[in-house]
Structure 1
């Protein structure tokens, strides 16, 4: 698998992609970077209607916005693109409280398909249930085994609303779909929900202008390489370098001396220039 195709999507995706291909012990991968690539690497562009888009748009319009949720929205980056404008978004936790979270479980091959509470045809389910169950029910080869085969997170009663026949009160325990009978169970757990406040500060408008700001902070030039180091870099550009040898360590140590776009204890992404070409460079060590 060519890992470089994932580079613009962020280092987390990169690490996952590599893991699925038989993870090498080390990686140096260099992908030529346009202004759009740089912008995509250090910002997110939420889809209209998403929670991220909603809270940022409201914060831009009203100076701040709030939401309640069980996790942060902006854990990878706090730079958000709305249209052609870029914003730094702050996410501040306020009050927290305990909430009940519901999960609906399906058994596709129950040993006993007799309804104890009641049965319902799948097409008669409310939209709130069908939109959650459709991806599972529509699978031509659903999972099967002993007991419940799959669990679908419904969230809190506030998230579900009053349209479900399973949450918060279970009204049926058998679904009939195309002649098959599926058993339904509902489980709950208690977790913490937090109210977050969001504020958005305008950074700049336009991809080129934003990319220039990133370059000003992060871009450095990789020069003065030995012949062995140059071979490592050329192979990294061509498709990736995966040998833990002296030349690899020398090159990556040079890279790691500079501030990276996104760096952890074992991998990171940098923006560098090599022979007058800019590269988004991913390193695992």
Structure 2
């Protein structure tokens, strides 16, 4: 596990516990600020097979796009990378309604495996069902208890499409996977839904141009440090600095005097230059 991944895991309270590692009370971590790293801090990359990509590509081609859904796509950032270019995307809620959503329930250790509707082998399921259920049936140590053990959110009938054998109409109530027999049920409920309108305008044709824009906005020079402060910074480049001492506090105060790419109550990310090199600085205080 690299140090950026380790810090992220610690910061988010990941379930995996590393021997001898606890969450440090403070952190200063400096990493080389490549064009891609800088861009990733302030934008999202829309994968070609994602809903985000489809919406933005449609807005680019047609001037606007619409979508119905139960959540916003771009609640964390409005800058989206599509096919190498960067776009500012507006997401406007234009109407609200309700929709029926479905959850497929699996009893992984049923007392009675005799089907009432019918049984189907996992390999014979349509792709839409296999994709949603594969993680459950292949799990090495699934949760077991009385009744149905786990539920899988399928979403609305429109989101599922016409191929499912469980949603909206259940055709089978027993699923067979590698000799194991699971009972299947389906529950439905009403959930809020909205219609969104999207517009996209290009802000940069490539990652180099976009990263330069971000640098122009956020990059500052960290200089004039004492020997103790320099030790803090240089240790944070070689690994990370975890000591809550006067030198650390002084460096953090210097950094926080400048605009952050992102800043919350107790942590944030800045873009700085030190000794002629640019770094993304992650700080917890």
Task: Give 1:206's aligned residue.
Answer: 206
In 2, distance between residues paired with 1:162 and 1:220?
54
Q: Report the 3-state secondary structure (helix = DSSP H, G, I; strand = E; otherwise coil) of the residue aligned with 2:45.
A: coil
1:7-43 Cα offsets, whole Å, 9 max, x none, are 9xxxx77833778553222211100112222122222
Superposed CA RMSD: 2.2
Superposed displacement of residue 240, structure 1: 1.0
Q: Check whether the contact 2:64–2:198 (CA below 8 A) recurs between aligned residues.
A: yes
Distance in structure 1 (CA, Å) of the matches to 2:86 and 2:123: 44
The alignment status of 1:51 with 2:51, answered yes or no, reads: yes
Structure 2 CA distance for aligned equivalents of residues 239 and 63 of structure 1: 47
The separation in 1 between residues aligned to 2:152 and 2:30, in whole angstroms, is 39
TM-superposed CA distance for 1:233, in Å, is 0.9
Please tell me whether the aligned partners of residues 58 and 64 of structure 2 are also in contact (alpha carbons under 8 angstroms).
yes
Structure 1 partner of 2:101: 101
1:256 aligns with 2:256: yes
Report the Cα distance in structure 2 between the residues aligned to 1:57 and 1:249, rounded to whole angstroms. Answer: 45
Deviations 1:207-256 (A, max 9, x none): 22211111111000111112221111111111111222222121112111
Q: Distance in 1 between matches of 2:6 and 2:33?
A: 13
Contact 1:4 1:30 in 2 (8 A): no
Residue 15 (structure 1) aligns with: 11
Q: Mark the CA change 1:198 to 1:15 in structure 2 (over 3 Å): closer, same or farther.
A: farther
| Deviating more after overlay: 244-253 vs 116-125 | 116-125
Distance 1:85 1:17, change over 3 A: farther
**Within 5 A, what are the aligned runs for 1:128-147?**
128-147=128-147
| Contact 2:10/2:23 (<8 A) preserved | no
SS in 2 for 1:135: helix
> TM-score scaled by structure 1?
0.90
Q: How many correspondences in the alignment?
A: 281
For 2:272, the equivalent position in structure 1 comes to: 272
> Which range moved further: 42-51 or 162-171?
162-171
Question: If the length of structure 2 is used for normalisation, what is the TM-score?
Answer: 0.90
Kept in 2, the 8 Å contact 1:2–1:239? The answer is no
**Does the 8 Å contact 2:39/2:210 carry over to 1?**
yes
Deviation at 1:141, TM superposition (A): 4.1
Encode CA deviations 1:131-156: one digit per residue, 9 max, x unaligned: 22122223344433333222211110
CA distance in 1, matches of 2:128, 2:212: 45
1:187-217 CA distances to partner (integer Å, 9 max, x unpaired)?
A: 2232211111111111121222211111111
Aligned equivalent of 1:222: 222
Q: 1:52 to 1:192 in 2, by over 3 A?
A: same
Matched, 1:174 2:174: yes
